[in-house]
A and B are shown apart, each in its own frame.
Chain A
């Protein structure tokens, strides 16, 4: 009973704190960990954690390039989708802004390893050109956006794609990838900055209050958008999707045309 209430009051305080900060904050920014805000040892740790996925992704992309022009174009679409969505800062019910990740589409089409590369490219661009995220935090931000999120999204996709209507499977996978990205960002910050009292757990509540709550409506938006784009891919490029093993054309145009 007591810990429950404590946790709730902590969440409340974190939320209130977040709202107050938002009023004082002027400079707009991205939702990745900023340059210089992750201690060097943690930067190194997350780079090491990302490395095996980058290698696996690099190998898969090489085989995609060697195999077929069609799939290469679709790889470009998956990357472009991340470019678009991660540039859109969207208002949320917390009164602050955040941006979607756009990784859901790539996860469904190519799996998490490839997305770790696509995400790293976008994160690198944003770190260099926009001072968003950072070069030293590229490893940590890739683990959150390009690996942990996509892994969970992929899990949802694998479980649901034959058991649920395609739209539902796409929606859930995208939501899972988006939300867990910001969950992992909060974990990374909490691990680096444990609170004096309450340690990592308390910091986690603080950072989750900032990132996760803001992100919920954005994850819904990203889910809907990804359903839209997968549906139109099914209409316009059914053969390419079939090559990648995305099941059946989405209900709609495909069936009506038959």
Chain B
């Protein structure tokens, strides 16, 4: 009885999750194959060019306060951004899982203690 509960709470029944992960991977990788040779620049660069086509000679009226010096620094900051987010999400899931396990074990401990005391 108790063992069946703990087994189910391992949380390993993933259901459709592998399918969802596969769908994401296919959607990310497929364009690299379909569009071999493209350089996969950002869509806002095309927007910028479209603006200068509609308004030839358009100059931005204000410049960013600070710009990352170069693509490597920009990608460093982007990695930091997603690492911070992913770190917090991982922390939350770990915390919840730990709490759930602790809550599951507590009734067992109580029973065991009761059994121990009644034997005395």
Contact = CB atoms under 8 A, between A and B. Distances in A.
A228 B85 contact: no
A179 to B, nearest CB: 13
Contact of A26 (B41, B74, B79): B41
Interface of A: 17-19, 21-37, 39-40, 73-74, 76-77, 79-84, 86-98, 125-131, 134-136, 167, 189, 193-196, 203, 206-207, 210-211, 214-215, 217, 220-221, 224-225, 227-229, 231-232, 235-237, 240, 251-253, 256-257
Contacts of A74: 92
Contacts of B68: 129-131
A21 B77 CA distance: 26
B17 A80 contact: no
A7 B30 CA distance: 29
B27 to A, nearest CB: 5
A35 B66 CA distance: 11
Interface residues of B, number: 66
B89 A236 contact: no
B13 A252 contact: yes
Contacts of B47: 33-34, 37, 189, 207, 210-211
Point out which of B38, B65, B85, B89 has the most chain A C-beta atoms below 10 A from its C-beta.
Answer: B85
A206 B63 CA distance: 25
Given A83-B84, A189-B51, A228 B20 contact: yes
Interface of B: 5, 8-9, 11, 13-17, 20-21, 23-24, 27-28, 30-32, 34-35, 38-51, 53-55, 59-68, 71, 74, 77-79, 81-82, 84-89, 92-93, 95-97, 100
Contacts of A189: 47, 50-51
A89 B82 CA distance: 11
A91 B32 contact: yes
Given A91-B40, A253-B13, A34 B35 contact: no
A131 B78 CA distance: 11
B85 A22 contact: no
Contact of A135 (B53, B65, B79): B65
